[in-house]
Amino acid sequence: MMLHQHRFRRDCRLLRMATLSVLIGLCLVLGLGLRGLPWMQGVAAPDTMLLSLVRLLPALGYLWALWAVQRALAGLAAGQMFHPTIATAMRHMGAGVLLGALLNVFAITNLSRWIVGGHGGYAYFDLSGIVLGVVGAALLLLASVVDQARDLQAELDEIL
Q: 57: which residues sit within 8 A by CB, 6+ positions away?
A: 100, 103, 107, 108
Number of Cβ within 10 Å of residue 28's Cβ equals 10
The residue ranges of every structural domain in the chain are 2-159
- CA terminus-to-terminus distance, the chain: 24
pLDDT digits (tens, 9 = 90+) for 102-112: 998 888 888 88
pLDDT digits (tens, 9 = 90+) for 33-67: 766 655 455 555 667 778 888 888 899 999 999 99
The alpha carbon of 158 is separated from its chain's Cα centroid by a whole number of angstroms, namely: 36
Query: The whole model's pTM is what?
Result: 0.79
The alpha carbon of 143 is separated from its chain's Cα centroid by a whole number of angstroms, namely: 15
